[in-house]
């Protein structure tokens, strides 16, 4: 049986917080599908193709990582792709409360479980929204993102 999980998110952009969770989860799974969410009501700094390209660049040497885009409910994506588990990272107690409610709902409506990883101490303060705010204000976010994507940030 192939152990497969989906790590859904906007990844606008992918951060060291994301890679911390992915890298620590990899030993547990044969495949992790990084599912880049597309919400037509949301304004992104990077288009979906660029976000996927950045993630693929970070994980270009990791065959167990697959990157794809999706719309709609994550549980529907899981059902359609026969993925039994959702992978999520938790930075703080607020994340836990928010993610717990979603995980319980996903279990109820889609029979899909969620596996949580606490982010490491050195990355728990990082979020994509902080990175975007730094970039929009002309700052340098190099210490918050994987080295492989820095070239995409300052175009």
- Compute the distance between CA of residue 119 and CA of residue 17 in angstroms, rounded to an integer: 7
Confidence of residue 1 (pLDDT cuts 50, 70, 90): low
For residue 96, pLDDT over 80 is answered with yes
CA 140 to chain centre: 22
Longest dimension (CA), the chain: 48
d(Cα 124, Cα 18) in Å, to the nearest integer?
Answer: 10
- Model's pTM, two decimal places? 0.94
Confidence of residue 2 (pLDDT cuts 50, 70, 90): low
Query: Which two tokens mark 54?
Result: 């950045």
- Superfamily of chain region 4-153: HUPs (3.40.50.620)
Percent of the chain with pLDDT over 90: 90
User: Domain map of the chain by residue range?
Assistant: 4-153
Pairing mode of beta strands 113-118, 85-90: parallel
pLDDT for 93: 85
Average pLDDT, the chain: 94
Q: What are the two backbone dihedrals, phi and then psi, of residue 68, each rounded to the nearest 5 degrees?
A: -150, 165
Instruction: Provide the pLDDT for residue 154.
Output: 87
How does pLDDT run across 21-80, given as a tens digit for each residue?
A: 999 999 999 999 999 999 878 889 999 999 999 999 999 999 999 999 999 999 999 999
Query: What is the pairing mode between strands 85-90 and 31-37?
Result: unpaired
Burial call 65-75: b when 16+ CB within 10 Å, e when fewer: bbbeebeeebb
């Amino acid at each position: 049986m192939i152990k497969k999980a989906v790590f859904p998110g906007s990844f606008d952009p992918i951060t060291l917080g994301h890679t911390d969770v992915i890298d620590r989860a990899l030993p547990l799974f044969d495949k992790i599908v990084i599912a880049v969410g597309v919400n037509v009501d949301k304004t992104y700094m990077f288009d979906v193709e660029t976000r996927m390209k950045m993630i693929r660049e970070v994980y270009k040497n990791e065959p167990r990582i697959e990157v794809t885009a999706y719309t709609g409910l994550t549980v529907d994506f899981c059902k359609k792709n026969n993925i039994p588990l959702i992978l999520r990272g938790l930075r703080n107690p607020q994340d836990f409360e928010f993610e717990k409610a979603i995980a319980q709902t996903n279990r109820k409506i889609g029979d899909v479980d969620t596996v949580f990883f606490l982010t490491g101490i050195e990355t728990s303060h990082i979020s994509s929204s902080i990175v975007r705010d730094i970039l929009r204000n002309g700052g340098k976010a190099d210490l918050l993102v994987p080295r492989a994507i820095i070239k995409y940030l300052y175009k």
